[in-house]
């Protein structure tokens, strides 16, 4: 509820931010936004807005810095057919010369509002596609609106109206005003809440209640899919998701939302990712994810992570990632907390809720430690801190990521925060745990979706409140390190160590080499099923021989490449040195590269350190049922 006193305070704050006073009055009237999604099968969304305005120069923004993306990634290139009208007349517009997300118009005398019309041409098609298919649509409101410059997002009210194809149903955390037929009207919401409340809709839709017994706050999963079959979530998975909600309550000791919606899109024709929101998450994966063990395991890496963000990322967010509106740049230096800690807690909750087995949790950690140690020579020149700092310029990588490094603050966050958990345990002689930190840092009353920003110093102070330690020194050392070794202190303090054996892992972890060959820790290669080189670890035998990503292995030792053939050759290298000849196609030219190798297949696993307590498995055990 917005009271008059609150509004006055907001206006005073706006004045302090050098924002023109007339814009405060503007926030009194909601911007009317209509999104017509009836052409979803054609990947076209049609937008109409009525925006209160004043005569004279008027500037509108298309959202640029998208929360959770941590970069200026608003898809402004998908905007087409843009037209402005005032008083029934078309107004010319001009894009800003220094910022392509900014549009300038002049509102004629006498007009008190501007009509904006445009289409959003979705990128549809393929795993890197967009948000629309023949059977479903994911509405991210930031993609389908313009907003006036000069007012913080939390003071700009929007009244959203949605038109869907006939018969489609929808799910969202955005409070509904009314719905009739294929149309829905939502209660007016501030721009930041609107952008934070996406919607999924489709012909094939299913909502499932996953509120645990005794939990007062409603939780549900809203699933849209490209087929009715894909909606068949196994009852066991529903139970595990309910466990996840219960485990989150135990871990954080507080919630900061009115209700919570997992918005899950199952399609091979949308982009695949997860994007966190305060009261929901927008998670998208393969159509048949519920129907295979691999798919369900993948959901264990996705849904708990996005859920954890409601606390870590939305309720508590680094101050310099908490921009007041979407054109203001973000600073990404604390992503090792925002994403790194979320990664750790997400995987921990996947294990505690039973979505992952304890073995899968350990295999994940083993793979992560290997990937960031011998699999990541780039760590010798580029410290972890820089992988966070550089995100706005280089979120997506290209070849030789093992040498460039990518968004390593995610997986290295797992190791870093596991180590923090074991330090708290050891320093307090088992009297304190990471849960105590979570209750301190993420606790407090549930006032709905609130933002409580923090700085590095405040994070360190909260840790010290739980367990005094040189946390600042610890983080600075880990974040600035250029050691070739991955930080495995948490694994070892947990009673385990990383070992390499010929047994393939049960859990392949990150990276796309399913159906191919993972020889990263033997000859240093990851190949697709067709021989395409997906990774070649800098400094390892294959790289030294000349093989790099982008090439394709055509033959091994004179015979046409198959994954089984290369695995046989590696197997033979257990007992004697092999001269492995790779016939490789690169840029239309064939070359033969000779790799000399002895040692057989090598895969990372965790093995117990005899005599040390098994803290790792204790951490991964269900906690909510122990009450």
Q: What are phi and psi of 103, to 5 degrees?
A: -125, 135
Contacts with Zn ion by CB under 5 A: the residue count is 2
Shortest Cβ distance from residue 312 to Zn ion (Å)? 9
For residues 183 and 164, is the Cβ–Cβ distance under 8 A?
Answer: yes
Three-state secondary structure call for residue 286: coil
Shortest Cβ distance from residue 262 to Zn ion (Å)? 14
Three-state secondary structure call for residue 317: strand
Which 493-552 residues touch Zn ion, going by CB under 5 A? none
CB nearer to Zn ion: pick between 344 and 441 = 344
Which 382-411 residues touch Zn ion, going by CB under 5 A? none
For residues 321 and 339, is the Cβ–Cβ distance under 8 A?
Answer: no
Q: How many CA atoms lie within 13 A of 484 on its CB side?
A: 5
Shortest Cβ distance from residue 341 to Zn ion (Å)? 10
Shortest Cβ distance from residue 399 to Zn ion (Å)? 24
**What sign results for the dihedral spanned by CA atoms 373, 376, 380, 386?**
negative
Shortest Cβ distance from residue 340 to Zn ion (Å)? 9
CB nearer to Zn ion: pick between 255 and 317 = 317
Nearest to 143 by CA among 96, 190, 199, 204: 199
Which 300-359 residues touch Zn ion, going by CB under 5 A? 339, 342
Q: Over the Cα atoms of the chain, what is R_g?
A: 26
Shortest Cβ distance from residue 339 to Zn ion (Å)? 5
For residues 453 and 317, is the Cβ–Cβ distance under 8 A?
Answer: yes
Q: How many CB atoms lie within 10 A of CB 612?
A: 14
Shortest Cβ distance from residue 309 to Zn ion (Å)? 6
The three state secondary structure string of 542-610 is: HHHHCCCECEEEEEECCEECCHHHHHHHHHHCCCCCEEEEEEEEECCEEEEEEEEECCCCCEEEEEECC
For the chain, the straight-line distance linking the first and the last C-alpha, in angstroms and rounded, comes to 36
Burial of 617 (0-12, 13-18, 19+ CB in 10 A): middle
Pairing of strands 260-266, 219-225: parallel
Q: How far apart are CA 425 and CA 432, in angstroms?
A: 6
Shortest Cβ distance from residue 72 to Zn ion (Å)? 18
CB nearer to Zn ion: pick between 76 and 302 = 302
Take residue 386 and report the two structure tokens written for it: 């820089």
| Residues within the interface to Zn ion (CB under 5 A) | 339, 342
């Amino acid at each position: 509820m917005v009271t008059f006193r609150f509004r006055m305070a907001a206006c005073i704050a706006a004045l302090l931010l050098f924002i023109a006073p007339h814009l405060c009055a503007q926030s009194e009237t909601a911007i009317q936004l209509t999104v017509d999604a009836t052409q979803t099968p054609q990947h076209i969304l049609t937008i109409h807005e009525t925006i209160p305005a004043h005569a004279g120069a008027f500037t509108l923004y298309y959202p640029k810095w998208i929360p959770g993306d941590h970069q200026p990634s608003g898809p402004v290139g998908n905007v087409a057919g843009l037209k402005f009208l005032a008083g029934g007349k078309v107004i010319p517009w001009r894009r800003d010369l220094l910022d392509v997300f900014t549009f300038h118009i002049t509102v004629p005398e006498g007009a008190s509002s501007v009509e904006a019309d445009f289409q959003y041409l979705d990128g549809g098609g393929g795993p890197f596609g967009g948000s629309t298919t023949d059977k479903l649509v994911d509405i991210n409101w930031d993609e389908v609106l313009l907003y006036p410059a000069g007012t913080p997002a939390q003071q700009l009210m929007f009244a959203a109206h949605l038109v869907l194809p006939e018969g489609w149903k929808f799910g969202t955390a955005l409070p509904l005003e009314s719905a009739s037929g294929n149309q829905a009207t939502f209660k007016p919401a501030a721009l930041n809440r609107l952008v934070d409340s996406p919607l999924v809709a489709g012909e094939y839709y299913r909502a499932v209640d996953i509120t645990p017994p005794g939990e007062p706050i409603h939780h549900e999963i809203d699933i849209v899919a490209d087929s009715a079959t894909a909606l068949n979530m196994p009852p066991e998975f529903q139970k595990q998701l309910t466990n996840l909600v219960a485990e989150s309550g135990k871990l954080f000791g507080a919630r900061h939302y009115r209700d919570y919606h997992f918005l899950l899109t199952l399609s091979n024709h949308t982009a695949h990712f997860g994007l966190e929101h305060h009261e929901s998450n927008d998670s998208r994966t393969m159509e048949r994810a519920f129907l295979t063990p691999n798919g369900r395991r993948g959901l264990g890496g996705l849904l708990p992570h996005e859920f954890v963000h409601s606390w870590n990322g939305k309720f508590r967010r680094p101050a310099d990632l908490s921009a007041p509106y979407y054109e203001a740049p973000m600073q990404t230096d604390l992503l090792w907390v925002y994403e790194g800690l979320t990664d750790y807690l997400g995987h921990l909750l996947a294990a505690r809720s039973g979505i992952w087995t304890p073995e899968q949790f350990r295999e994940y950690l083993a793979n992560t430690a290997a990937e960031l140690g011998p699999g990541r020579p780039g760590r010798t020149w580029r410290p972890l801190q820089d992988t966070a700092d550089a995100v706005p310029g280089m979120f997506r990588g290209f070849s030789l990521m093992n040498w460039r490094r990518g968004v390593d603050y995610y997986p290295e966050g797992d190791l870093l925060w596991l180590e923090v958990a074991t330090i708290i345990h050891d320093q307090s002689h088992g009297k304190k745990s990471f849960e105590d930190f979570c209750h301190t840092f993420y606790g407090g009353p549930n006032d709905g979706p609130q933002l409580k920003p923090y700085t590095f110093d405040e994070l360190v102070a909260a840790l010290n409140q739980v367990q005094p330690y040189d946390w600042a020194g610890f983080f600075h050392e880990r974040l600035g390190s250029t050691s070739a070794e991955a930080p495995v202190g948490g694994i070892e303090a947990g009673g385990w160590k990383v070992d390499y054996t010929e047994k393939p892992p049960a859990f392949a972890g990150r990276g796309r080499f399913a159906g191919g060959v993972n020889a990263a820790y033997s000859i240093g290669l990851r190949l697709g099923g067709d021989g395409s080189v997906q990774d070649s670890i800098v400094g390892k035998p294959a790289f030294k021989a000349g093989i790099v990503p982008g090439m394709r292995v055509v033959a091994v030792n004179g015979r046409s490449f198959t994954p089984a053939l290369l695995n046989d050759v590696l197997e033979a290298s257990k007992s004697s040195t092999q001269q492995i000849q790779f016939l490789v196609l690169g840029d239309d030219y064939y070359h033969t590269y000779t790799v000399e190798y002895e040692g057989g297949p090598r895969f990372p696993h965790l093995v117990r350190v005899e005599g040390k307590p098994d803290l790792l498995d204790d951490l991964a055990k269900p906690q909510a049922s122990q009450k």
